[in-house]
Amino acid sequence: MNNLIAAIIGFIVAFMVLVNGILTGYTDLYMSSIIIHIVGLVCITIVIIVGKHKIKNLKAVPLFLYAGGILGVSNVVLSNLCFTELGVSLTLALGQVGQFLASAVIDHYGLLGLKKIPFNKKKIWGLLIVSIGIIIMMFE
């Protein structure tokens, strides 16, 4: 079930990237980011009102936990900076490398409150095959 949810996230992300890209074509990077966040804010506000979810404890939470939204935007800006210098394929491939490295390190040491899952050395071969696949895919 958990694996299915992960796959559903990837499925939606593929459509989201396409649709957001088209919106950016009609506007520009920064304007589209604002529009995307306004639409998102309206949607989640409706969910909260309809579901009668209470917003509380906001001040009891360490401030850095709110950085998620800022990091989400910074990702868009960073990758866009790189597109012009590195091209789309290399930027996306390197971004993917960054994602894999970060999540492997975080799993291995159990950082940021996540469950500690030491890296199983047997998986190195599978990862090698996956990496070769990604390289073939990104650079045709």
Q: Please list every residue from 43 through 72 that binds another protein, using CB under 8 A.
A: 43-45, 47-48, 51, 53-58, 60-61, 64-72
Burial profile 38-57: b = 16 or more Cβ within 10 angstroms, e = fewer: eeeeeeeeeeeeeeeeeeee
| 8 A C-beta contact, residue 109 and residue 116 | yes
Helix pair 124-138, 88-109: axis angle to 10 deg:
160
- Measured CA angle at 94 (ends 105, 25), to 5 deg: 125
Nearest-approach distance from CB 124 to another protein, in angstroms: 9
Residues 11-30 touching another protein, rule: CB under 8 A, are 11-20, 22-23, 26-30
Binding flag, residue 89, another protein (CB under 8 A): no
Q: Shortest approach of another protein to residue 85 CB, angstroms? A: 4
Residue 37 sits in the site that holds another protein (CB under 8 A): yes
Q: Work out how close the CB of 63 gets to another protein at its nearest, in angstroms, rounded to a whole number.
A: 11
Q: Does 88 bind another protein (CB under 8 A)?
A: no
Query: H or E element: which one contains 97?
Result: helix 88-109
Applying CB under 8 A, the site for another protein has a residue count of 109
Q: Give the distance between the most distant pair of CA atoms in the chain.
A: 50
Binding residues among 96-135 for another protein as defined by CB under 8 A: 96-104, 106-107, 112-115, 117-118, 120, 122-123, 125-135
